[in-house]
Amino acid sequence: MQTNQYDLLIIGAGVSGSALLYLTSRYTDIQHIGLLEKYAAPARVNSLSSNNSQTLHCGDIETNYTLEKALKVKRAASMLRNYATAQPDHHHIIFKYSKMVLGVGSKECQLLRERFKIFGEHYPNLQLLDKKAIAKIEPAVATGINGDGLRDDEIIALGSTDEYTAVNFEALSRSFVRQAEMLEDKQVDVHYNETVQHIKIEADYFIIETDGVCYRSKSLVVCAGGHSLKLAHDLGYGLHYSCLPMAGSYYFTPQCLNGKVYTVQNDALPFAAIHGDPDVLVPGETRFGPTALVLPILERYNLKTLPDFLQVFRFDRRVAKVLYDLMKVKDIRHYIFKNLLFEIPIIRKFLFLKDVRKIVPSLKLRDLRFAHKVGGIRPQLIDKDHQKLLMGEAKIDTGKGAIFNMTPSPGGTSCLENAEIDMRAIVSHLGASIDEAAFKKDLLGDDQKHAQNDFTGRVISDN
Ligand SMILES: Cc1cc2nc3c(=O)[nH]c(=O)nc-3n(C[C@H](O)[C@H](O)[C@H](O)COP(=O)(O)OP(=O)(O)OC[C@H]3O[C@@H](n4cnc5c(N)ncnc54)[C@H](O)[C@@H]3O)c2cc1C
């Protein structure tokens, strides 16, 4: 029988909230765990399969990652892979495709050669691929503009061919929820169609109010994307953060790639360059993107989230300064302007074609199709105190049993690692315990046992 009182209440059934539901119900002795989700099923927002690039980021082909960041992401990716491959329906969750990062021109090629020297020893499957080797894996990438013969410009790639590289984060979220609900030794309740409106603290309990129901919980983890910040502000936390929602759009072409092809990142830009990927649910096509466009909403294609954006944007002099500083950089200014044009019908196809031809030179205008209703929103935070745009995930741990997660890319990949951090914090708050042996055996494979595990490094403590 369902009650309204919990030891732990999680808000949001995207991949972050559902991963935490799974970890806490499977590996801790916390007895009463609840999950509130405003839609009728898990993963309807950014974790929806069509709303992200479906990449399992391992750090080897992401040239914007330092070695330290890459190894951290590698550990997170390995946890996800260990979970997913152990599931009987793993072929709906995780997928093997070739992957590579492509360098075009002497500067990018040199950068990749240098990177290989440093990253190669940490990634045994990573290979340095010349034009002919690229042609064997991705013929369309190595072929010239007319579709015959090798392309003239200098190219090189770093890549691998036999790894899990793509994840359906929507199927993964459903799997986490299903596995948690199957456990019989504790109470795990998932409440759909419940939108959290307000949170307050009474005595030692969090009181969580939805439209019709009031829940009480000893601890609380909010995994509601950009809405996490709104709920944190509600409780008086994270007031020095503003949220800048960055929408990403995609284009489909007939299938021209066999796997994932990333490009070298421009260091001056805060967002990943466009890449080409198979869509795990759309066979026969290749998906290129994402673009990056600031939109004043917290959920893509949901204008009702405009007032929520206005609440979390908290525009003031410090936010204006961060935006002004970004716009001062020529590459960023051009990038923002170009991404605006990417949304304008007709013009956008011409502009996007120029960018995708770096990956597949023979693509034609008629091959490109704007992917309608595809692509979510990355809730990037602005730290007003330090006057900078934060990249990657952000967390507000109140230290008093409430945690708020904001998870732009690579939040899908790091769902279990992030959930592990929250699980440890909540267990410590509740005085509960973790079955460490089972946790290590199931999720941390041999290759990860000695990996660095900086549990507190990313936690932003707030009060
Ligand atoms: C364009 C794009 C490309 C990306 N590509 C990748 C990639 O290739 N690889 C990768 O690892 N990551 C990628 N990401 C990031 C990844 O998609 C997200 O980090 C991840 O899906 C976030 O999961 P989440 O559970 O934190 O948030 P979400 O999936 O957004 O889930 C939040 C949940 O909270 C619920 N919710 C919100 N408010 C309330 C409320 N008040 N009450 C109850 N429920 C509420 C929502 O309905 C939703 O279900 C990408 C993101 C974007 C936008």
Q: Which residues line ligand 1 (CB under 6 A)?
A: 11-17, 36-39, 43-47, 51-55, 57, 169, 195-196, 223-225, 227, 248, 290, 375-378, 405, 407-413
- Of all atoms in ligand 1, which is nearest to the CA of residue 44? 49
For the chain, domain boundaries: 5-48+169-241+390-461
Q: Which residues does 1 contact at the CB level (< 8 Å), separation at least 6?
A: none
Kindly state the tokens that stand for 16: 């972050």
Rounded to the nearest angstrom, the distance between the alpha carbon of 364 and the centre of ligand 1 is 33
**Test site for ligand 1: of 11, 20, 35, 45, most ligand atoms within 8 A of the Cβ:** 45
Crossing angle for the helix pair 415-430 and 67-85, nearest 10 degrees?
A: 90
Nearest-angstrom CA–CA distance, 155 and 104: 5
Rounded to the nearest angstrom, the distance between the alpha carbon of 195 and the centre of ligand 1 is 16
Task: Collect the ranges in the chain with pLDDT lower than 50.
Answer: 1, 448-463
Rounded to the nearest angstrom, the distance between the alpha carbon of 400 and the centre of ligand 1 is 25
Rounded to the nearest angstrom, the distance between the alpha carbon of 330 and the centre of ligand 1 is 30
Closest residue by Cα to residue 94 from 168, 43, 160, 42: 168
- Of all atoms in ligand 1, which is nearest to the CA of residue 12? 34
Nearest-angstrom CA–CA distance, 42 and 22: 13
pLDDT at residue 339, as a whole number: 87
Rounded to the nearest angstrom, the distance between the alpha carbon of 409 and the centre of ligand 1 is 9
Which phi and psi angles does 147 have, rounded to 5°?
Answer: 85, 5
Rounded to the nearest angstrom, the distance between the alpha carbon of 15 and the centre of ligand 1 is 7
Rounded to the nearest angstrom, the distance between the alpha carbon of 415 and the centre of ligand 1 is 10
Residue 196 · residue 209 · CB < 8 Å: yes
Which phi and psi angles does 462 have, rounded to 5°?
Answer: -130, 155
- Of all atoms in ligand 1, which is nearest to the CA of residue 231? 41
Instruction: Take atom 31 of ligand 1 and give the residue whose Cα is closest.
Output: 14
By the 10 Å C-beta count (0-12 exposed, 13-18 middle, 19+ buried), 240 is classed as middle
Instruction: Take atom 13 of ligand 1 and give the residue whose Cα is closest.
Output: 409
5-48+169-241+390-461 CATH fold: FAD/NAD(P)-binding domain (3.50.50)
Query: How is the beta sheet containing 293-294 ordered, strand by strand?
Result: 293-294, 241-247, 377-383, 388-389
- The end-to-end CA distance of the chain, in Å, is 36
Instruction: Take atom 41 of ligand 1 and give the residue whose Cα is closest.
Output: 196
Nearest-angstrom CA–CA distance, 301 and 70: 32
Instruction: Take atom 15 of ligand 1 and give the residue whose Cα is closest.
Output: 409
pLDDT at residue 446, as a whole number: 55
Other CB atoms within 10 A of residue 459 CB: 17
- Of all atoms in ligand 1, which is nearest to the CA of residue 300? 53
Rounded to the nearest angstrom, the distance between the alpha carbon of 127 and the centre of ligand 1 is 32
**Test site for ligand 1: of 20, 52, 196, most ligand atoms within 8 A of the Cβ:** 52
- Of all atoms in ligand 1, which is nearest to the CA of residue 14? 25
pLDDT at residue 271, as a whole number: 76
**Test site for ligand 1: of 21, 46, 211, 302, most ligand atoms within 8 A of the Cβ:** 46
Beta bridge partners of 395: 405
Residue 413 · residue 272 · CB < 8 Å: no
Rounded to the nearest angstrom, the distance between the alpha carbon of 207 and the centre of ligand 1 is 24
**Bond from prior residue into 410 cis (ω within 30 degrees of 0):** yes
Rounded to the nearest angstrom, the distance between the alpha carbon of 229 and the centre of ligand 1 is 13
Q: Give the predicted TM-score (pTM) of the model.
A: 0.94
Nearest-angstrom CA–CA distance, 257 and 277: 7
Nearest-angstrom CA–CA distance, 317 and 116: 43
Q: Which residues does 403 contact at the CB level (< 8 Å), separation at least 6?
A: 220, 221, 222, 395, 396, 397, 422, 425, 426
Looking up tokens 């649910």 gives 281
Closest residue by Cα to residue 398 from 430, 427, 429: 429
- Of all atoms in ligand 1, which is nearest to the CA of residue 17? 25
Q: What DSSP assignment string belongs to 66-103?
A: -HHHHHHHHHHHHHHHHHHHTSTTGGGTEEE--EEEEE
Closest residue by Cα to residue 274 from 291, 299, 254, 260: 291
pLDDT at residue 288, as a whole number: 97
Instruction: Take atom 37 of ligand 1 and give the residue whose Cα is closest.
Output: 224
pLDDT at residue 456, as a whole number: 31
